């Protein structure tokens, strides 16, 4: 085969491969989420993080504004320490914003939802979110429900 033709086909092949890679990266993955640009970090402590993972989304009003950058353990206060990386654009979150661990759907992956408060000061890099709501643990829910039912039963039965 002519050298020219060979080189042409090799060029086409490599271009096709790179195009496939680009397609996969851009259209078929969450690459967009990584192009957040600058981000600042705030900390939130939880009693229970459930199945929250690093790189889980951080949302306000359902819109993604950042991601979980680290999950550590505080050995003194025995709480989970979660670092949130929030895109620099969203820099006017009030100091009394609440961070809750929520579940996408009923059995989906867990993420952090922020509910802004009304305080005048805003969260800066390194600040801590004071008010947090831990993940719901199914066993505790069931336990509460059962004891709740039992209590009602006692009240009725003990009459």
Partner 1 sequence: MSGPLQGLGARTLEGLARLGRAGLFLPRLLAAVPAQFLTPRRLARQVFSVGVLSLVIILVSGLFVGMVLGLQGYNTLVDFGSETSLGSVVSLSLVRELGPVLSALLFAGRAGSALTAEIGLMKATEQLSALEMMAVDPFRRVLAPRWLAGFISLPLLAAVFSAVGILGGYLVGVKLLGLDPAPYWSHMESGVDFFDDIMNGVIKSVVFGAVVTWVAVFEGYDAVPTAEGVGRATTRTVVTASLAVLGADFLLTAMMFGEH
Of 5-13, 78-86, 92-100, 140-148, which part binds partner 1 (CB under 8 A)? Answer: 5-13
Rule CB under 8 A: say whether 94 interacts with partner 1.
no
118: left (phi over 0), alpha (psi -120 to 50) or beta: alpha
CA dist 83 and 72 (Å) reads 8
Q: How, if at all, do strands 98-103 and 131-133 pair?
A: parallel
For 67-131, the DSSP string reads EEEEEEEETTTTEEEEEEEEETT----BTT-EEEEEESTTTS-EEEEEE----SSB--TT-EE-E
Q: Which of residues 31-90 bind partner 1 (CB under 8 A)?
A: 31-32, 34, 53, 55
Query: According to CB under 8 A, which one of 2, 7, 50, 61 is a site residue for partner 1?
Result: 7
Of 24-32, 86-94, 119-127, 132-140, which part binds partner 1 (CB under 8 A)? Answer: 24-32
Query: According to CB under 8 A, which one of 2, 18, 47, 114 is a site residue for partner 1?
Result: 18
Provide the 3-class DSSP secondary structure of residue 22: helix
Rule CB under 8 A: say whether 130 interacts with partner 1.
no
**In this complex, which beta carbon is closest to partner 1, that of residue 14 or of residue 88?**
14
Of 18-26, 88-96, 112-120, 127-135, which part binds partner 1 (CB under 8 A)? Answer: 18-26
Q: Compute the least distance from the CB of residue 112 to partner 1, in Å.
A: 16
CA dist 127 and 22 (Å) reads 38
Of 4-12, 42-50, 68-76, 131-139, which part binds partner 1 (CB under 8 A)? Answer: 4-12
Cβ-based neighbour number of residue 113 at 10 Å: 17
CA dist 83 and 67 (Å) reads 9
Please give the residue ranges that form the binding site for partner 1 (CB under 8 A).
1, 3, 6-7, 9-10, 12-14, 16-21, 23-25, 27-32, 34, 53, 55
């Amino acid at each position: 085969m002519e050298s020219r033709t060979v080189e042409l086909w090799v060029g086409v092949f490599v271009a096709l491969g790179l195009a496939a890679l680009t397609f996969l990266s851009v259209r078929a993955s969450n690459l967009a989420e990584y192009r957040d640009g600058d981000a600042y970090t705030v900390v939130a402590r939880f009693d229970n993080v459930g199945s929250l993972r690093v790189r889980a989304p951080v949302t306000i009003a359902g819109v993604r504004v950042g991601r979980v950058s680290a999950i550590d353990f505080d050995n003194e206060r025995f709480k989970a320490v979660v670092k949130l990386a929030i895109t620099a654009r969203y820099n006017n979150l009030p100091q009394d914003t609440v961070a809750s661990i929520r579940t996408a759907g009923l059995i989906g992956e867990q993420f952090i939802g922020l509910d802004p408060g009304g305080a005048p000061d805003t969260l800066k890099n390194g600040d801590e979110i004071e008010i947090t709501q831990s993940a719901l643990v199914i066993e505790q829910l069931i336990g509460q429900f059962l004891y709740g039912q039992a209590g009602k039963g006692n009240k009725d039965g003990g009459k």
